[in-house]
Amino acid sequence: MNRVCELFGTRYPVVQGGMVWCSGWRLASAVSNAGGLGLLGAGSMTAEVLREHVRRCRQATDRPFGVNLPLANRETGELARVIVEEGVRIVFTSAGSPRTWTAFFREKGVIVAHVASSSRFVAKCEEAGVDAVVVEGFEAGGHNGREETTTMCLVPAARRVTTLPLLAAGGIGTGRGMLAAMALGAEGVQVGTRFALTRESSAHENFKRLCLSLEEGDTRLLLKKLAPTRLVKGDFMTAVEEAEARGASADELRELLGRGRSRKGIFEGDLSAGELEIGQVASLFRREQDAAGVMEEIINEYERARTEISR
């Protein structure tokens, strides 16, 4: 049996990315009901909002689901408390050190996967005692590693340093992408972008429509003097690009970024003033689908491609 399925109790080794502003109970429960692992994106939630989403998600599915918890969040402590209080069984931690929270969760019987962007970090995850590791390549949307290692290079590097169940993320939104990740040594995949653009995603329709019309090259990794972030072309991205081209400092970029921009862009659909984040793989998709349809397509294409390649 596939170790990712075994660990999480899912039918397929496909985990939905816990993207901010996209991943509420509707999306997470739909993915879990479709045989994957749905994740609630706590990064855009207060503790009480997360509690509400956990409860609704549990009403909407009897399959396993989890919470994505960015550790850089100021409210991490409160969110972690809610996770434990509400009996969530699976946590994906990211954007911070795996040392900080892994023991806390594991003592409470919560399964912990940590998201890393380098094999050095994968080794740290293993030391910290996590149950599984996700490695996320340069092509992924939103916050991204400083080393810019792509999924093609990162997965085999990670595979060399860990015996833990390994998931690949970044650039994977199809069955063929999933097969490629497995060929590189992953045992499962985390799919963000494609699920962010489904009907059940809480992202704004404006945002989804824009992302479903992107061409290659329409996202760019910027803000490297702050935290590298993959942005979608548009007014805000142009402003950042121009500022960076003339050598803007971290402080200037911080001021330009301001606060609440990703909410404005992704959740409220302000494509001009908002910050828009999506992965490179978006350019492969043109239709808004439901999460179950996406899962079915991924799994069918994966099985077809597997049969084809083994001939």
Nearest residue to 224 (alpha-carbon basis) of 256, 249, 259:
249
* Min separation Cβ 273 and its own copies, Å: 25
- Measured distance CA(237)–CA(22) in Å, rounded: 20
**Range in contact with its own copies (rule: CB under 8 A) among 27-35, 79-87, 242-250, 260-268:** 242-250
**Range in contact with its own copies (rule: CB under 8 A) among 68-76, 78-86, 103-111, 146-154:** 146-154
If you write DSSP's letter for every residue of 34-62 in order, what string do you get?
TTSBEEEEGGG--HHHHHHHHHHHHHH-S
Residue 158 tokens, joined: 């990670």
- What mask, x for binding its own copies by CB under 8 A, covers residues 220 to 239? xx---x--------------
The count of other CB atoms within 10 Å of the CB of residue 86 is: 16
- Measured distance CA(128)–CA(96) in Å, rounded: 12
Residue closer to its own copies by CB (options 30, 222) is 222
What's the residue count for the chain? 311
- For the chain, the 3-state helix, strand and coil shares in percent, each to the nearest 5, are 45, 15, 40
The residue count for binding its own copies (CB under 8 A) is: 51
Do 30 and 200 contact (CB within 8 A), yes or no?
yes
Do 185 and 10 contact (CB within 8 A), yes or no?
no
Residue of 1, 247, 259, 287 interacting with its own copies (CB under 8 A): 247
Residue closer to its own copies by CB (options 40, 257) is 257
Site for its own copies in 278-297 (CB under 8 A): 280-281, 283-284
* Min separation Cβ 159 and its own copies, Å: 9
Do 32 and 64 contact (CB within 8 A), yes or no?
yes
Residue closer to its own copies by CB (options 51, 114) is 114
Site for its own copies in 158-217 (CB under 8 A): 160, 170-172, 174, 176-177, 179-185, 215-217
Residue closer to its own copies by CB (options 49, 253) is 253
Which residues are at the interface with its own copies (CB under 8 A)? 118-120, 137-139, 146-154, 156-157, 160, 170-172, 174, 176-177, 179-185, 215-217, 220-221, 225, 244-248, 280-281, 283-284, 305-307, 309-310
